[in-house]
Structure 1
Amino acid sequence: MLEDTGERIIPKEMKPENGLLLEHLARYTFALPYVKGRVLDIAAGTGYGAQMTAKKKKKEISEIVGVDVDPETIRYAKQHYYHPLLTFQTADALDPDMEEELGTFDTILSFETIEHVPDDQVFLQNILNLLRPGGTLVLSTPFGQGRGKPSRSPFHYHQITEEEFRDLFQDYPATSFYYQRGVTIEPKREGLHYPLGVAVCQNVDKQDDADILQAFVQHSAGGPEYVIKSRDNVLQTVDRDTFLAAVHKLETKGT
């Protein structure tokens, strides 16, 4: 049995309504509109999210590679989360040879990873090397006291501030920022506290024309930007109007 460290999400050992599980699933659900081509899931953990993505996007992807630094976790993922488009392998996100070993990707997912690495700049450069021109990175991390300062988790080197988070993606010409509270992922609304940030970044080759960038901006503006939970705990992406209607309904119900 895989050890439950408190950091790993092991759905088969959790109740379906577990809040932490639903929050993690919300991030994978949020990323679905951006997933295409060859996909890399960094720190895929037990593999549930990579498998869910493979099932939901099987017509839009050619392959998903799920990697994790822990061999035991990869063995578990292979045993429990098979899909014909999905492979799992052990890899270190700080390994400078990742591009040579894995190749390049159209989509890279990295949820709750960057806080686990001692050098986030090396980590981000590795991702940039792995991401094809026109490719998309979806990355999330919890906020905290800042780089180099202690966090509440013994597994985190640090938890960056929101300002530090927004400064991470200077090498990406197009980056959209979203924020998560529970299962809700949305553009920032004033007056609300968000414990976690999500960045959607486009890798545009400077030699290319602006068509790719323009298409990405249009997709970000017009695509599903919000994740909500229904009564039966089903997560779904919705447009802004649907989300605001759901929020209004909850606020009205509470008055």
Structure 2
Amino acid sequence: MTDYQPTPQSDQLALTGERTVPGIAAENYWFRRHEVAYEYILDRCAGLDVLEAGSGEGYGAAMVATRAASVTCVDYDEQAVEHTRRRYPELIVHQGNLIDLPLADASVDVVVNFQVIEHLWDQSAFVAECHRVLRPGGVLLMSTPNRITFSPGRDTPLNPFHTRELNAAEMTELLAGAGSEASGPNVTGAGGGFDVQQMLGVFHGATLRALDEKWGGSIIDAQIERALAGDEWPAELTDDVAAVATADFDILSATDADIDASLDLFAVAVRR
């Protein structure tokens, strides 16, 4: 756990469906599912220069800033950027396009990109930019919903804000190959790419598995079905969702669990 405190309701970024924000009871499951990845990387970021590419509300970058030497944020959304600057003054925040990052070559040690790649049209160009701004041996930490479990049996993503979702093999291929054919003034290390050091997955722990059983097999489906139908949530469901904590999720490696059954994928990739 960290000493980070969630955003108070009085300074809350609007919930659009495209990003998650802290402090909303009915959104808490998704917030904690995202937050657990930030908790997992805190020690890895200690004393380093970190970029969060696609920083959203800013809570994750603020968590990382409690350990890192510096944290720079880049996000395309003007409202999110203004909110992050106001709420988290310890962060350096730029508005910009993720496929043209406003950072110098080899300027950071770590790039964090959580729950963003699935929103991008040109995923390879973005990963090439991550390669460019990382120092040699730098690390790209990337999470994304697992296509197999997030949009099962669908040709297009279930979430209308997603452009292309990935499974573990597709994510590995993207990271290994991106930037390998790129050249020009904004690309260093042409022929680069990343070595995927670890492919991890986010899974429900014991408490959430019990809630899955309680809510007819899936607490996720229980939330989505009621949201799509516009039904009022029963108080018990609201209470169960509001009580979810990061400790209720497990992050497991591909050697310890079936990665294709994970909820979210989490890659640790080293810049070649």
Question: What is the TM-score with the length of structure 1 in the denominator?
Answer: 0.69
Larger relative strand fraction: 1
For structure 1, the residue ranges without an aligned partner over 5 or more in a row are: 205-255
What is the aligned counterpart of 2:32 among 15, 18, 22? 22
1:114 corresponds to 2:117? yes
Provide the C-alpha distance between the structure 2 equivalents of 1:191 and 1:70, rounded to a whole number of angstroms.
32
Is this contact kept in 2: 1:144–1:160, CA < 8 A? yes
Superposition map of 1:141-180 within 5 A: 141-144=144-147, 149-170=155-176, 171-180=193-202
Unaligned runs of 5+ in 2: 1-11, 177-192, 205-248
Paired residues of 1:178 and 1:198 also in contact (CA < 8 A): yes
User: What residue number does 1:42 align with?
Assistant: 53
Q: Secondary structure at the match of 2:81?
A: helix
**CA-to-aligned-CA distance 1:165-201 (integer Å, 9 cap, x gap):** 1222222235211011242111131497212111111
Change (3 A) 1:78 1:176: same
How many residues are matched?
A: 194
Do the aligned residues in 2 keep the contact of 1:51 with 1:82 (CA within 8 Å)?
A: no
**Are the equivalent residues in 2 in contact too, given 1:69–1:90 (CA < 8 A)?**
yes
Could you tell me whether the CA contact under 8 Å between 1:40 and 1:64 is conserved in 2? Answer: yes
Q: Percent identity?
A: 26
2:94 — aligned with what?
89
User: Which residue number in structure 1 is paired with residue 18 of structure 2?
Assistant: 7
Maintained 8 Å contact 1:99/1:129: no
Q: Deviations over 1:54-112 (max 9, x none)?
A: 12x0xxx33100111001111111122232xx2112111112x6344x86210110001
Q: Which residue of 1 aligns with 2:135?
A: 132
What residue is the counterpart of 1:187 in the other structure?
253
Tell me which stretches of 4 or more aligned residues in structure 1 moved more than 4 Å: none
3-state secondary structure, aligned to 2:111: strand
- AA at the equivalent of 1:186: L
Q: Measure how far apart 1:16 and its partner are.
A: 9.8
Pair 1:51-2:117 in alignment = no
User: What SS does structure 2 have at the residue aligned with 1:74?
Assistant: helix
Q: Report the aligned-residue RMSD.
A: 2.5
Q: Secondary structure at the match of 1:11?
A: coil
Q: Which has the higher contact order (CA 8 A, sep 6+)?
A: 2
Pairwise CA distance, 1:18: 1.7
